[in-house]
């Protein structure tokens, strides 16, 4: 039986934070008010001394815990491979940055660290002794267009199993289970004048698994007439792609569940009925509830459509709690 706790990644409230509507304490307080049991902190966004954690920041986090009852449970690291102008970071340099992040995660009291898949499987394997020494489980984020059954993720599985380390695994992002077009991109195209019939035609090409280059060829006359459709098509084959069914992907999730340290509850739009319009949570949550997963589902609202971040994040937390209760 799963033991699932709900939290949020503070990235969900990034827009009000960046606009100055909420300071960092306000973001943490709001997360607590939503019913979050813990939070993930995106280090590059909200830690002033990133990639290091100062004693002053630790004190601040501890004071917030005393006030609001929640603390960071995951350190979201960024693998900025392209940070140099003249070249990409080498694997040695990326491993060194990841080790620094592990130390910082430990200092904040986080026992999970989200790592990005710009770090190779071999690079991840090199982190095992450091992760074990600092008691920080390092999870590669499984993010659309990757999924639990794509070859690049299976390459990580192979390395994780070869190391035998309990400190290397995954942080699945539920966006990889999407079965409908992304609402913000769809609405943006409509607002720019694209006819809904063309959007539906484009979506059907994606459902029919027509290769992107062939779909672009078919849609070219329409995209030239409505340029916004270039970006819409690209999105349907990229980071917000979707498919007819996520059955195979959920079967893949079941197989890697022992290696999952945290899960990102991705959402782009949750309606007033607590339904995410693109991602089938009604299928995803029962799979997790029926497993032995022991960890957090953290709400991750992608603020791309101009919706109210606090409202959307609150709805998502409520939706996850509701579906978990129904799955018991």
**Given the DSSP bridges, would you call strands 137-142 and 168-172 parallel, antiparallel or unpaired?**
parallel
Kindly report, residue by residue over 175-229, the tens digit of the pLDDT: 999 999 999 999 999 999 999 999 999 999 999 999 999 999 999 999 999 999 9
Kindly report, residue by residue over 156-167, the tens digit of the pLDDT: 999 999 999 999
pLDDT (0 to 100) of residue 125: 98
The residue among 1 and 173 whose pLDDT is bigger is 173
Kindly report, residue by residue over 236-289, the tens digit of the pLDDT: 999 999 999 999 999 999 999 999 999 999 999 999 999 999 999 999 999 999
Q: State the Cα–Cα distance between residues 223 and 227, nearest whole angstrom.
A: 5
Kindly report, residue by residue over 90-145, the tens digit of the pLDDT: 999 999 999 999 999 999 999 999 999 999 999 999 999 999 999 999 999 999 99
Q: What is the 3-state secondary structure (H, E, C) of the chain?
A: CCEEEEEEEHHHHHHHHHCCCCCHHHHHHHHHHCCCCCEEEEHHHHCCCCCCCCHHHHHHHHHHHHHHCCCEEEEECCCCCCCCCCCCCCHHHHHHHHHHHHHHHHHHCCCEEEECCCCCHHHHHHCHHHHHHHCCEEEEEECCCCCCCCHHHHHHHHHHHHHCCCCEEEEEEHHHHCCCCCHHHHHHHHHCCCCHHHHHHHHHHHHCCCCHHHHHHHHHHHHHHCCHHHHHHHHHCCCCCCCCCCHHHHHHHHHHHHHECCEEEEECCECCCCCECCCCHHHHHHHHHCCCCEEEEEEEECCCCCCCHHHHHHHHHHHHHHHHHHHC
pLDDT bin (cut points 50, 70, 90) of residue 292 is very high
pLDDT over 90 (residue 1) = no
Give residue for tokens 């009852």: 69
Kindly report, residue by residue over 44-86, the tens digit of the pLDDT: 999 999 999 999 999 999 999 999 999 999 999 999 999 999 9
Domains of the chain: 3-177+245-327 (3.20.20.150), 183-236 (no CATH)
Paired tokens of 93: 């340099």
* Residue 235 region by backbone torsions, left for phi larger than 0, else alpha for psi between -120 and 50, else beta: alpha
How large a percentage of the chain has pLDDT more than 90? 99
Contact 74, 298 (CB under 8 A): yes
Residues 6+ apart with CB under 8 A from 64: 25, 28, 29, 70, 71
pLDDT (0 to 100) of residue 203: 98
pTM: 0.96
pLDDT over 90 (residue 328) = no
What value does the mean pLDDT of the chain take? 97
């Amino acid at each position: 039986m799963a033991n699932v706790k709900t939290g949020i990644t503070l990235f969900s409230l990034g827009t009000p934070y960046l606009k100055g509507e909420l300071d960092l304490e306000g973001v943490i307080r709001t997360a607590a008010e939503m019913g979050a049991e813990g939070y993930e902190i995106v280090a590059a966004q909200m830690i002033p001394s990133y990639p290091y954690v100062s004693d002053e920041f630790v004190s601040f986090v501890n004071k917030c815990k005393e006030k609001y009852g929640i603390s960071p449970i995951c350190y979201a690291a960024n693998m900025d491979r392209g940070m140099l102008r003249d070249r990409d970071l080498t694997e040695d340099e990326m491993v060194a940055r990841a080790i620094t992040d592990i130390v910082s995660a430990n200092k904040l009291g986080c026992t999970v660290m989200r790592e990005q898949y710009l770090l190779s499987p071999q690079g991840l394997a090199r982190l095992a002794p450091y992760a074990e020494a600092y008691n920080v489980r390092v999870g590669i984020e499984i993010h659309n267009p990757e999924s639990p059954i794509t070859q690049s993720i299976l390459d990580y599985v192979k390395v994780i199993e070869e190391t035998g380390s309990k400190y290397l695994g995954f942080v699945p992002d539920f966006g990889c289970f999407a079965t409908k077009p992304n609402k913000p991109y769809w609405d943006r195209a409509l607002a720019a004048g694209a006819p809904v019939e063309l959007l539906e035609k484009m979506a059907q090409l994606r459902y029919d698994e027509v290769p992107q280059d062939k779909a672009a060829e078919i849609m070219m006359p329409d995209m030239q007439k409505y340029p916004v459709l270039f970006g819409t098509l690209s999105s349907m084959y990229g980071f917000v792609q979707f498919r007819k069914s996520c059955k195979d992907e959920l079967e893949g999730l079941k197989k890697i569940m022992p290696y999952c340290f945290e899960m990102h509850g991705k959402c782009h739009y949750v309606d007033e009925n607590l339904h995410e319009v693109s991602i089938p949570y009604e299928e995803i949550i029962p799979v997790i509830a029926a497993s032995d997963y022991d960890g957090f589902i953290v709400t991750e609202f992608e603020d791309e459509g101009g919706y109210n971040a606090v409202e959307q994040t609150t709805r998502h937390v409520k939706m996850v709690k509701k579906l978990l209760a129904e799955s018991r």
